[in-house]
Amino acid sequence: MTDEQPTRAPAAVVFDALGASYEQAFAASEAHRRSLEWLLARLAPGSRVLDAGSGTGRPTAETLADAGHDVLGVDVSPVMTALAARQVPAASFRCADIRDVPLADGSYDAVCVYFALLQLARGEQSEVVRRLARALRPTGLLALATVPLDVEDVEGVFLGQPVRVTSFAARDLTAMVEGAGLDVLAHEETLFTPARPDAVSEPHLFLHCRLRATPPAA
């Protein structure tokens, strides 16, 4: 290895190691299902949807594609991207970093970003939410889920993998999302315990948002 080797995104290392075991541990999340139902109830037939940090493709891309929507999943983990492409052939998947993957302005009817910001610094999380908001057409929808904790670069163990986690408290996350030009129309906060013998309950926050007709100043 030389100094010129690019550094892999920390999330790619963690999720390449987890693969399908992530889906098994989180499959029972009813709040995630309800979030997808919130979107499905509002999307016109054949909507274009971006799933940022698409994981294994289940349940998000699969549910939306099965309902007839045109879904692109983007994930930085090659293992997760390959698994999603295999499991959800009705959607498209691309292995890329959501921080810099090209996204045309105003090109999506909806964007999902479920639990995909936690390995990014706070400034990067804000910038990604702004990018995702810009990718929405006017009044497009954004569904965001995270673990709402006031933590910055804390070490932890996630499903047996060492991780460093950064997030926002619920109120600060909401302010960040509103600052990106989105109105929060609904939210759900819940506790979820992954299906693993060693797992502990974690708080989950789902925000259901709509892009304001007048976007924020750049």
Ligand X SMILES: C[S@@+](CC[C@H](N)C(=O)[O-])C[C@H]1O[C@@H](n2cnc3c(N)ncnc32)[C@H](O)[C@@H]1O
List 25, 49, 88, 98, residue binding ligand X (CB under 6 A) = 98
Residue 11 binds to ligand X (criterion: CB under 6 A): yes
List 40, 48, 67, 97, residue binding ligand X (CB under 6 A) = 97
Residue 103 binds to ligand X (criterion: CB under 6 A): no
Tokens of 178: 């509103």
Q: Kindly tell me which of 75 and 109 has the beta carbon lying closer to ligand X.
A: 75
Residue 39 binds to ligand X (criterion: CB under 6 A): no
Smallest distance from ligand X to CB 138, Å: 25
Residue 55 binds to ligand X (criterion: CB under 6 A): yes
Q: Which of residues 18-37 bind ligand X (CB under 6 A)?
A: 22, 26
Choices 85-93, 115-123, 171-179, 180-188; region in contact with ligand X by CB under 6 A? 115-123
- Per CB under 6 A, residues contacting ligand X are 9, 11-12, 15, 22, 26, 53-55, 60, 74-77, 80, 97-99, 114-116, 119-120
